Amino acid sequence: MQVIKYAFQQHGDERGQLVALEEFKDIPFKIKRVYYMYDTVQGVHRGLHAHRSLEQILICIHGSCKILMDNGIEKKIVSLEKPYEGLYISNDIWREMFDFSLDAVLLVLASEIYDENDYIRDYDEFISFVNAKK
Ligand code: TYD
């Protein structure tokens, strides 16, 4: 499984850092939705789903967390701990977010508006979904 991690351009100067993200330039899709998670309770796993078509970029803009990516065959764990790093997650990846630091803020850029029908929340259904695409 290919892990696509972006290192966004940092516009740093003596005042500090700034990162700017534009759709189709820094982000490979039209950004239709932005959401973020914070105050995540210790020990919690979030996510535990895949999508039928949604693409996302995850950025831990403060603190740190880990992302488990599972394509149905292989699993990888990616650490996010830099505010200028973005992890691309395609639709057909089962994802779990965990090991959030107390101060973690996980920002998500999404290619579609929220649609519960796009979620695959059952792991067996996810396996059938990826097998059907082969
Ligand atoms: P949920 O899907 O459980 O989050 P996670 O994937 O991190 O485990 O979402 C939590 C709640 O927020 C749930 O009631 C749905 C709602 N929600 C929205 O209303 N809009 C959104 O864009 C998202 C991602 C969630």
The pLDDT profile of the chain, 134 residues, written as one tens digit per residue, is 999 999 999 999 999 999 999 999 999 999 999 999 999 999 999 999 999 999 999 999 999 999 999 999 999 999 999 999 999 999 999 999 999 999 999 999 999 999 999 999 999 999 999 999 87
What's the gap in Å between 5 CA and the centre of ligand 1? 23
CA distance 11 to 133: 41
Task: For residue 49, give the ligand 1 atom closest to its CA.
Answer: 6
CA atoms within 13 A on the CB side of 63: 17
Q: Which two tokens stand for residue 95?
A: 């994802």
Helices (H), the chain: 123-132
Residue 134's pLDDT is 76
CA distance 121 to 2: 23
CA distance 100 to 23: 27
| pTM of the shown model | 0.96
What's the gap in Å between 36 CA and the centre of ligand 1? 10
Q: Does 47 sit in the ligand 1 pocket, CB within 6 Å?
A: yes
The alpha carbon of residue 50 and the mean position of all alpha carbons in its chain are separated, in whole angstroms, by 11
Catalytic residues: 49
Q: Does 46 sit in the ligand 1 pocket, CB within 6 Å?
A: yes
